[in-house]
Structure 1
Amino acid sequence: MTDNGAHQMDVSATPSASQTPVPNMSLNMDYYLKEGLEGVECQQFRDATIWAHSIQAQANGLRSGNLSAGQYAVFSPVTQDELTNLEHIRDSHYKSLRFLYLNDAQTLIVKIMPGPAHEVATSELTHIVRLKVGVMGLHRALRDRRATTYQGARSKKEADSALKPNTRPLKDDWPTLVFECGVSGSLRRLRTDANWWLANSAHDVKIVLLVSVSSPQQKIHIEQWEDRNTPNPYITPNNPNPLVIRPTKINEINIYGNTVTGAPLRLPFHAIFLRPPVAGEGDIVFTAQDLLDYAEDVWGDMQ
């Protein structure tokens, strides 16, 4: 069922949320260790060879259609030096893997891309955004950072894709638009990923698009997350602010067969380029037909 209303990030399931009113999610490492990873066993990291074999076996299971293999793998303890080695191995042999590393816990959370449909779902959506800004004459004003690693609060992470305006020219400047993709059963974890980007960037990331793909059903689910000021339900002498910033679901879209619900998908121009639009510029809008065409491109080579 499509929900076009704003939906705040539900943190009530996190171990500390019931104890800490409006927790600082960027510093709540327990949240990133556990939320959406229920049933995923933390494996003891022994060496890079065993790690690679484990990842390959899980990836093979996913790509053969065994979704019970799960999209995420967790390893600990992984030191900084070991992480550097794993990053080299990933960059050479497993380019579709995405890492979230938590410094204090020395824990590596690996997201495994299940197959071509998920990779195409991300690349095509990124491509269409760039095409639409190109029509505005801004094709060089938005840079594709792909899977660049970004340093957060005691953690670091890569997106499946990320775009940032040329007004943020430094290597460590955060993107304004981030894409995260996964299987339909990983949606809860994808929302945790959205929280990481919005909170750890100190709100420099403006929009996170979550793309949940079901290959058996040929269904695509997209959620748009942004930071919003919301009433503070836990006002105390130490926390007197009437409003708090929370990750909020702005829109959700389902594309299934010839049906699209939740359209249009609208990405505010000012959020991506950090300035108001001028003549010939405007919000990036995906109509229902755009979304159908997008889904056709995703599934086109999967028949």
Structure 2
Amino acid sequence: MESLDHTADISRGSSSEPLSSELSSLEINSQDFFMRSAKEGEQHPFTTRQILQKIVEHRLTALRRDQTRDQYITGKYCRRFYHELTRTLLIKIMPNPAHELAAESFKSLVSVKLHALNIDDEVWPYGSTTVTGGGWKKQADCCWAPASTNASLSLVVEVGLSESARRLALDAHGWLELQSSVKLVVTISIKSERPEIVFTRWELLPRIDGAITRASPASARRVVSLKLCRMNDTTSVTRESTMNGISTTSQLVIPFDKLVNRPPHHPTEKDLVITEEELKRLAERVWKEQGFL
């Protein structure tokens, strides 16, 4: 049984540091986590597509030159994460193919698992489809929904650079606490300066402080994090569950009932398990793209 932890922010640290030293408390008081993420970003007013394009290209160049680690900019009158009431647009920029490679590789792994369990007709991939909820129109890096729910997402994946770990945590809160159908979020934080990737699974769970209210009966919480590093031509996995930090396995488990929106009906229907070796292959593929291997 995996133990559970309060909201966490994965901050900068060397690959030799224990994972627990990189996971600190993230205090979130606002109900609207996407708006908080937007407020933390650099603000850019724009009224035409040409102005927006110049802003995005300027930030993309800065990311590629390692002049910034912030993938997000905020503006108006367009859509990526778009807030209807305030007409605020939060744009997430993917500066290199490693971001897309991680998302697509994870998507492929999930697809293989769904097929192996013979439920690929029950759970459909929706890519980066736009979802409306909590006043926002939002897009994930990839997502899935039970076929019976008309694209009401159950699993969402968000990928970001290492310095975007705080925003990834905010995204997890936003998806789970503002979009009622979402039961699972997986964040993938990629270091740009060294071969290191952190996979984190988040779920909506009862508040650990016991402060259950009508407005906030539960909160998004980190269930487990897996940090993959490459040193001395060897890829290692460090797993940290919550509470006691003890774990006997380095697998990423996606609960069947929360993904499919029903309990298993027979013994062959089980949780989706992405093994340690599969995670290592995914990480090494990304590191090759980054030039580390």
TM-score range, shorter chain: 0.7 to 0.9
Contact 1:180 1:211 in 2 (8 A): yes
CA distance in 2, matches of 1:156, 1:144: 18
CA distance in 2, matches of 1:50, 1:179: 30
Determine which of 199, 206, 220 is the counterpart of 1:229: 206
Structure 2 match to 1:198 = 176
Counterpart residue type for residue 269 of structure 1: F
Structure 1 match to 2:72 = 72
CA distance in 1, matches of 2:121, 2:62: 40
Determine which of 106, 110, 123 is the counterpart of 1:142: 123
CA distance in 2, matches of 1:197, 1:51: 26
Superposed CA RMSD in Å reads 2.4
Deviations 1:72-97 (A, max 9, x none): 01113x2xxxx3xxx5xxxxxxxxxx
CA distance in 1, matches of 2:190, 2:182: 23
Contact 1:36 1:189 in 2 (8 A): no
User: Residue 8 of structure 1 aligns to a residue in which SS?
Assistant: coil
Structure 1 match to 2:245 = none
Contact 2:200 2:223 in 1 (8 A): yes
Deviations 1:248-287 (A, max 9, x none): 1101110111110112211101111112222322111122
> Which TM-score applies when normalising by structure 1?
0.78
Structure 1 match to 2:11 = none
Determine which of 123, 139, 149 is the counterpart of 2:104: 123
CA distance in 1, matches of 2:113, 2:26: 38
Determine which of 92, 96, 99 is the counterpart of 1:111: 92
Q: Is residue 158 of structure 2 the alignment partner of residue 180 of structure 1? A: yes
Structure 2 match to 1:53 = 54
CA distance in 2, matches of 1:240, 1:48: 42
Counterpart residue type for residue 251 of structure 2: P
Contact 2:63 2:71 in 1 (8 A): yes
Distance 1:149 1:56, change over 3 A: same
Deviations 1:228-252 (A, max 9, x none): 12255547xxx589x9211111011
Structure 2's unaligned 5+ residue stretches are 9-24, 240-249
Structure 2 match to 1:153 = 134
CA distance in 2, matches of 1:138, 1:49: 44
Distance 1:240 1:32, change over 3 A: closer
Deviations 1:187-211 (A, max 9, x none): 1111111111112222x11100001
Q: Is residue 270 of structure 2 the alignment partner of residue 282 of structure 1? A: yes
Determine which of 184, 190, 194 is the counterpart of 1:207: 184
Cα displacement (A) at 1:156: 1.3
Contact 1:73 1:109 in 2 (8 A): yes
Structure 1's unaligned 5+ residue stretches are 18-22, 88-98
Contact 1:266 1:283 in 2 (8 A): yes
Structure 2 match to 1:295 = 283
User: How many matched pairs?
Assistant: 259
Contact 2:256 2:271 in 1 (8 A): yes
User: Residue 169 of structure 2 aligns to a residue in which SS?
Assistant: helix
User: Residue 215 of structure 1 aligns to a residue in which SS?
Assistant: coil
Cα displacement (A) at 1:69: 5.6
After TM superposition, where is structure 1 displaced by more than 4 Å over at least 4 residues in a row? 10-14, 231-235
Counterpart residue type for residue 272 of structure 2: I
Q: Is residue 36 of structure 2 the alignment partner of residue 34 of structure 1? A: yes
Q: Is residue 252 of structure 2 the alignment partner of residue 265 of structure 1? A: yes
Percent same amino acid at aligned positions?
Answer: 27
User: Residue 203 of structure 2 aligns to a residue in which SS?
Assistant: strand
Counterpart residue type for residue 216 of structure 1: E
> Which TM-score applies when normalising by structure 2?
0.80
